[in-house]
Amino acid sequence: MGIYQRTIKRLGHTRGFASIMKRIAPSIDRTFYRLTGGRRVFADGVIPTFILVHAGARSGREYRTPLTYIRVGDGFALAGTNFGQAHHPGWSKNLMANPEATVELGGREIPVRARRVDEREKTELWPRFVEIWPAYDTYLKRSGRNIRVFVLEPRA
């Protein structure tokens, strides 16, 4: 891991970094994704990131949210850390209401179905999240909430 990646991962623990990144990172990732024809997001090289296409819980409106993920078998896992904020991210509420979604990764669209994991499975997955982004432990403490974790399983 290079100095840039180490520096970003250290900064990830700070409130200032989280405050800025929660506002600008999603737009930058979506723009970079469009400019590269769906092959890359800005966060590539630092943390695994894809675009989650999901429907709003009430509106049904389509949202495109860049999210950090870990691989779980043929699928993916997501942790709703929301940069350590006290409230759950909107995408997690949307997946609970409408679990069918699409992952955009490397120019591919992968239809998935989300399921919220139980505490046992979350305990097993959590160290893997912290391995790719150590600030997740900081976000857990700072948020004071039970962070929602989902597994996205491919659907036919």
Q: Going residue by residue through the chain, which has 156 residues, state the pLDDT in tens, using 9 for 90 and above.
A: 688 788 888 888 888 988 888 888 888 888 888 888 877 888 777 889 999 999 999 999 999 999 999 999 999 999 999 999 999 999 999 999 999 999 999 889 999 999 999 999 999 999 999 999 999 999 999 999 999 999 999 997
The owner of tokens 């997001």 is 41
Closest-CA residue to 99 (of 121, 115, 111): 115
pTM, two decimals, is 0.90
For residue 83, the 8-state DSSP code is G
pLDDT reported for residue 87:
96
* DSSP letters spanning 120-151: HHHHHHHHHHHHH-THHHHHHHHH-S---EEE
pLDDT reported for residue 91:
98
**Domains defined for the chain, CATH in brackets:** 3-154 (2.30.110.10)
**CA distance linking residue 4 with residue 46, whole number of Å:** 8
pLDDT reported for residue 40:
80
Hey, CA dihedral for 7, 127, 122, 49, is it positive or negative?
A: positive
C-beta of residue 106 within 8 angstroms of C-beta of residue 71: no
**CA distance linking residue 116 with residue 114, whole number of Å:** 7
Contacts of 27-32 spanning 24+ positions with Cβ under 8 A: 29/66, 30/64, 30/66
